[in-house]
Amino acid sequence: MGGGYVGLVSAACFSELGHSVNLIEIDAQKVKAINLGRPPIYEKGLEEMLRAHAGRNLTATSDYKCIPDSEIILICVGTPQGPDGEADLSMIASCAKSIGIALQNCDGYHIVAVKSTVPPGTTERLVKPTVLRQSSKNINKEAKGPQNIGFVMNPEFLREGLAVQDFMDPDRIVVGSSDQNAGDLFMGVYVGLDAPVVRTSLTAAEMIKYTSNAFLATKISFSNEIGNICKRLGIDVYDVMKGVGLDHRINPYFLNAGAGFGGSCFPKDVSALIHLAQETGEEPILLKSVVDVNERQPLRIIQLLEKKAGDLAGKNVAILGLAFKNDTDDARESRAIPVIAELKKRGAQVKAYDPKANSSMEKIFPNIDYCSSADAALKDADACIVMTEWPQFGQLDKEFDLMRSRVIIEARRILSCKDAEGICW
């Protein structure tokens, strides 16, 4: 249930593993596109899979009629950030209700599995009682009791852009279950994949997902803080982290300092964990600092720009990169958003270019200039900020001569030209 990034990638990959998959999505246009083998989002390898399986063992539909005949029902809907940083579980609740209604008067064993990122306790205290209440399984004397529906929590660890690869070749598979039998049966969906399996309770599986994302976000903010100190000391933080990351207890990944983390997961999940901790009476000092460092990084870019270019009012500023990272058209929580907002506040003219995310950013800032190439954005610019780690930006050098002056700020370590100034290197 849910044809977003997680649901669609999972549906395509489960069909690749040989299962028969119905993808329930309420957006009729998405359903149509998926059934034609056309993914509504850009994700490496996804189109090939959809073309191979759509209309065969993968069908998208807006109808819940396929639920009774499905052995496993996976909830893959979004859990957006609520007004106080908490996870908004309304779509999860609505899915659980629809599943329960669809399973009324229905025989056979079903597993309801949550793949969405949800706060610990959600599967046990929201999904399970809602499904059981709506399906009347726990009160129906004819039924064999609540055990004819099993509950599983199976978090995803899919990076955008690499989601298909992460699904098919995972570091680990985490399965939390209401009982041993539900977990054992659920593991059948992953037959064919070779990865360590972690079997836990429902709540521990939910916490594993939040903890993984919070830890990765912490690594990034830690590197950014070290980078900010290095900048003052005239040290290249990338040299430092190379030396640090080779310690096997630390590892070299997610130590890239720069503009900070964006995307649909890290900011939302760290906020939700902070909210959850505070609800329990625990003050999450470290996690709050992780967010704080992340929110200040874009402002440092503006400070550096003002130091180099002076008053920004009326200046032309080129932004290269709008996606929250390379290889995606997704601009959600992109660090380019606060940077553009600050530039506009200071009266600068913004010309922006991203290889894939121009139209995503246009929904957020309809009134800046979107260019179809880096050259067009750079032409006559007074300054340029590189905001996304697109590899193709790495080769830019003489293109910067199109600017009025070569004031180049690098918020991601990607350029090879000598005169760019890094935000923390």
Q: Cite the active site residues.
A: 265
**3-class state of residue 334 by DSSP:** coil
| The only residue of 16, 25, 43, 160 in contact with ligand UDX, by rule CB under 6 A | 160
Q: Rounded to the nearest whole angstrom, what is the least distance from the CB of residue 322 to ligand UDX in the complex?
A: 12
Looking at residue 28, the DSSP 8-state letter turns out to be: H
How far is it, in rounded angstroms, from Cα 30 to Cα 40?
Answer: 6
Residue closest to 260 by CA, chosen among 230, 288, 301, 211: 301
Q: Rounded to the nearest whole angstrom, what is the least distance from the CB of residue 148 to ligand UDX in the complex?
A: 31
* Tokens (6 digits) for 132: 């059981």
Q: Rounded to the nearest whole angstrom, what is the least distance from the CB of residue 364 to ligand UDX in the complex?
A: 15
| The only residue of 3, 39, 262, 338 in contact with ligand UDX, by rule CB under 6 A | 262
| The only residue of 266, 370, 393, 425 in contact with ligand UDX, by rule CB under 6 A | 266
Binding status of residue 400 toward ligand UDX by CB under 6 A: no
How far is it, in rounded angstroms, from Cα 379 to Cα 215?
Answer: 41
| The only residue of 8, 220, 273, 339 in contact with ligand UDX, by rule CB under 6 A | 220
Binding status of residue 151 toward ligand UDX by CB under 6 A: no
Binding status of residue 374 toward ligand UDX by CB under 6 A: no
Name every residue whose Cβ is closer than 8 Å to that of residue 190 and which is 6 or more positions away in sequence.
Answer: 17, 173, 197
How far is it, in rounded angstroms, from Cα 413 to Cα 424?
Answer: 9
Binding status of residue 256 toward ligand UDX by CB under 6 A: yes
| The only residue of 157, 238, 370, 390 in contact with ligand UDX, by rule CB under 6 A | 157
Cα distances from 229 to residues 26, 423, 424, in angstroms, run 49, 11, 8
In terms of DSSP H, where are the helices of 36-162? 46-53, 90-102, 122, 128-135
How far is it, in rounded angstroms, from Cα 280 to Cα 270?
Answer: 16
| The only residue of 100, 150, 227, 263 in contact with ligand UDX, by rule CB under 6 A | 263
Per CB under 6 A, the segment of 10-18, 263-271, 308-316, 378-386 that binds ligand UDX is: 263-271
Q: Rounded to the nearest whole angstrom, what is the least distance from the CB of residue 68 to ligand UDX in the complex?
A: 30
Cα distances from 219 to residues 51, 162, 208, in angstroms, run 38, 20, 16
Size of interface with ligand UDX, in residues (CB under 6 A): 20
Q: Rounded to the nearest whole angstrom, what is the least distance from the CB of residue 117 to ligand UDX in the complex?
A: 7
How far is it, in rounded angstroms, from Cα 128 to Cα 104?
Answer: 14
Q: Rounded to the nearest whole angstrom, what is the least distance from the CB of residue 140 to ligand UDX in the complex?
A: 37
| The only residue of 265, 301, 304, 381 in contact with ligand UDX, by rule CB under 6 A | 265
Residues in contact with ligand UDX by the rule CB under 6 A? 156-160, 213, 216, 220, 254-256, 258, 260-263, 265-266, 324-325
